[in-house]
Chains A and B, each alone.
Chain A
Amino acid sequence: MQKLIKDGSIVENQYSLIQDGDSYTDSNGIIPVDKWLEKPVPTAGVWLNSDQNPNLLKDVDLSQFAVIGVNFPAFVDGRGFTYARLLRERYNFKGELRALGHFIPDQLGYLLRVGFNSFDFASEVNLDSALKLHKTFNIKYQGDVSDPRPIFLKR
């Protein structure tokens, strides 16, 4: 299986991403959220598409998931940035938050700040090169998932 960047290292992917139409009873799978909601089987996690707001999971105990994926159908579709923050800050998800699909290494700084910690890049992305961009700026004017204090509480 293709490797990914997780917590700042290149690691083996532990989970299988289950696409629509695939079997979704894999206990090691990341299942489409709508399929899981129809039939909540034990599984490693669920993934959201860009038109599937985390509000869908508001009544679900997220601690049962080791991983939640957020898919970027195109890297300029920025809904996933908001979804990540909501999952972390509003729904208090503590597990692995994985970016999926067509995001690019140059977005890593922003993705890290909204709470993603794992990055399953498209197959053509060189992970060693991407790892060089796995960092945020040292200065952050706004609060974010890792530190909710804006700059005016830190100056």
Chain B
Amino acid sequence: MYQYDAIDHQLVAERVAQFRDQTERFLNKELSEQEFLPLRLQNGLYVQRYAPMLRVAIPYGMLSSKQLRTLSDISRRYDRGYGHFSTRQNLQFNWPKLEEVPDILAELAAVEMHAIQTSGNCIRNTTTDQYSGVIADEIVDPRPYCELIRQWSTFHPEYAFLPRKFKIAVNANENSDRAATQVHDIGLHIKKNAAGEIGFKVIVGGGLGRTPMVGVTICEFIPRADLLTYLEAIVRVYNQHGRRDNKYKARIKILVKALGIDEFRLRVEDEWKHIKNNESTVPAAEFERLQSFFTEPSYEALTDNPGALTDKLAESTGFSRWFERNTFPHKKPGYRIVTLTLKKAGQAPGDATADQMDKAADLADKYSFSELRVSHEQNLVLADVRQDQLIELWNDCKEAGFATPTLGLLTDMICCPGGDFCALANAKSIPIAEQIQAEFENLDYLYDIGDLDLNISGCMNACGHHHVGNIGILGVDKKGEEFYQISIGGASGHDASIGKILGPSFAQEEISRVIHKLIDVYIGQRTPEEHFIDTYRRIGITPFKEAVYAKVN
């Protein structure tokens, strides 16, 4: 993974010192609440319902076991002994004290971590596929490109006060998009052209929130050397022309929609022609330097499907279920990618206790070259596990509560913290997740339902990405009471689409019944090959709507 040099260390140290000074001046009333707000937000510090919330960046999801232990240690000493992994490769602490945040940042800096630009109206933490560098079918490893973007966007002097937050995600896999790139302000798809040169298809103007949109392609292929100048051109057009009168209309998606992609593209190209080929054009040597941080660990020469694996798969249904759902093919023979799920019933999705973080760090040391990944679906990943050690890992995972064999199934839901923690939320989301987890605890039934993305958000800000859930649940407030609106047909991969609202919202206690009805329609109508989303796309919303809203006789 990327290693800081003296330059990176100094930059982060200067930020810690700056934030310490800003915090002291705020506490001494030298900085007003209004002035401190964007300064603290750019360092990931929110003021939430009960306490500040600190969002720590996990750039493109990479985490060393040492870093994870530091996070667990911070959670014990400065917080309440747990953290929350968000959908954008961050870890959130829910209870830090404002005056202690500079100390937390200093401890993070010591392990090459920070909270820079994890919030605020600036370019946020760049995200990518959690299986980067190890998954068998990727075009190239996207992480060096993410690191390039991370550095370019960090303290960019022109873009610290954009009209709104700005999110970039990178994908390098034609078969899957685990970074939801099409619902980002900029989505980048790494491509190779006919000459074998690496470049990017650039998608712009996607996003969720009040006006969910799938992004549109602005450029089919930008050579990699031109990436930063092209990004500069896009963000510069947005900074000048994005709306600033209404925060709900300030995202780049609104600008792209208002101008139309052709006019937007003309403006970007007009901007780009002035800066293309300037000093920010990236030399090949820099790509090589960045790539050198993401070299392969010392894999052993192994073969696939060793007896130690196949025998156990035959013996144990539990193990084979976990293997089937929670592990993925690795590009190296004899290895497997393993996801540690943070979706155990009774635990808020994405939450990990300090003990679980330590345990995951131990597992990374023991089985996966001391590295982990954080996924968009709020789980942890061990990317390089020997197949002959999977059974042992599975047993360790069961003890730690990481072995729920439901990755990609209905109960592996994405869920925001909701009204239990978030000041913005209109409704709770964690109890909804619990209700569904309790209702659908039968594994055979879950497996029969198959791949299904269920996403829950406690408000229109859509942190739980409900719009792109195959089934989406949105908490709404009606005269002070919490209700839930259901949408179906959303998707976040290469086939991204925004879900359609089923109809009137439901009371909290009705949700699992409604989900059941939706599943019944799917099971009744599906062909043997179809996932939920495919059946929906074939038969449309009406049969689902009829079943859910049918009068009980």
Q: Which residues does A use to contact B, with CB under 8 Å? A: 53, 75-79, 81-82, 85, 90, 104, 106-107, 109-111, 113-114, 129, 137-144, 148-153, 155
- Nearest first, the 5 A-B pairs at minimum CB distance are A78-B161, A113-B157, A139-B11, A152-B286, A110-B157
Closest B residue, CB atoms, query A73:
B244
CB-based contact A81/B14 at 8 Å? no
CB-based contact A90/B274 at 8 Å? yes
Nearest Cβ on chain A to B69's Cβ, whole angstroms: 27
Check: B258 CB closer than 8 A to any chain A CB: no
CB-based contact B161/A106 at 8 Å? no
Give the CA-CA distance A107 to B7 in the complex, in Å: 22
CB-based contact B279/A76 at 8 Å? no
Chain A residues in 8 Å Cβ range of B53: none
CB-based contact B162/A141 at 8 Å? no
Chain A residues in 8 Å Cβ range of B154: 141
Q: Which residues does B use to contact A, with CB under 8 Å? A: 5, 7-8, 10-11, 14-15, 18, 22, 30-31, 35, 38-39, 121, 151-152, 154-163, 228, 236, 239-240, 244, 274, 278-280, 282-283, 286, 289
CB-based contact A81/B157 at 8 Å? yes
Chain B residues in 8 Å Cβ range of A150: 151-152, 228, 279-280
Q: With A82-B236, A82-B239, A150-B228 as given contacts, are A77 and B161 in contact (CB-CB < 8 Å)?
A: yes
Nearest Cβ on chain B to A123's Cβ, whole angstroms: 15
Chain B residues in 8 Å Cβ range of A109: 157
Chain A residues in 8 Å Cβ range of B31: 106
Nearest Cβ on chain A to B318's Cβ, whole angstroms: 48
Give the CA-CA distance A111 to B152 in the complex, in Å: 17
Give the CA-CA distance A88 to B15 in the complex, in Å: 27
CB-based contact A114/B158 at 8 Å? yes
Nearest Cβ on chain A to B519's Cβ, whole angstroms: 46
CB-based contact B156/A142 at 8 Å? yes
Nearest Cβ on chain B to A105's Cβ, whole angstroms: 9
Q: With A104-B35, A139-B7, A151-B7 as given contacts, are A79 and B279 in contact (CB-CB < 8 Å)?
A: no
CB-based contact B7/A81 at 8 Å? no
Q: With A139-B7, A143-B279 as given contacts, are A79 and B156 in contact (CB-CB < 8 Å)?
A: no
CB-based contact A110/B5 at 8 Å? no
CB-based contact B158/A152 at 8 Å? no
Nearest Cβ on chain A to B338's Cβ, whole angstroms: 34
Chain B residues in 8 Å Cβ range of A82: 158, 236, 239-240
Nearest Cβ on chain A to B204's Cβ, whole angstroms: 18
Chain A residues in 8 Å Cβ range of B274: 90
Closest B residue, CB atoms, query A74:
B244
What are 9 A-B contacts with C-beta separation under 8 Å? A77-B161, A78-B239, A79-B244, A110-B155, A139-B7, A139-B14, A141-B154, A151-B151, A155-B5
Chain A residues in 8 Å Cβ range of B14: 137-139
Chain B residues in 8 Å Cβ range of A138: 10, 14
Q: With A78-B161, A79-B239 as given contacts, are A140 and B279 in contact (CB-CB < 8 Å)?
A: no
Q: With A106-B35, A138-B10, A148-B279 as given contacts, are A78 and B159 in contact (CB-CB < 8 Å)?
A: yes
Closest A residue, CB atoms, query B161:
A78
CB-based contact B160/A110 at 8 Å? yes
Give the CA-CA distance A78 to B22 in the complex, in Å: 20
Chain B residues in 8 Å Cβ range of A148: 278-280
Give the CA-CA distance A79 to B235 in the complex, in Å: 11
Closest B residue, CB atoms, query A153:
B279
Chain B residues in 8 Å Cβ range of A78: 121, 158-163, 239
Closest A residue, CB atoms, query B160:
A110
Closest B residue, CB atoms, query A55:
B240
Q: Which of A76, A114, A129 contacts B38 (CB 8 A)?
A: A76
Closest B residue, CB atoms, query A72:
B161
Give the CA-CA distance A142 to B231 in the complex, in Å: 13
Chain A residues in 8 Å Cβ range of B162: 78
Chain A residues in 8 Å Cβ range of B279: 143, 148-150, 153
Chain A residues in 8 Å Cβ range of B160: 78, 81, 107, 110
Chain A residues in 8 Å Cβ range of B159: 78, 81
Please name 12 further chain A to chain B contacts, defined as beta carbons within 8 Å, in addition to the given A77-B244, A78-B159, A78-B239, sorted by A numbering.
A76-B161, A77-B161, A79-B239, A106-B35, A107-B160, A111-B157, A114-B157, A139-B8, A142-B152, A143-B278, A143-B279, A150-B151
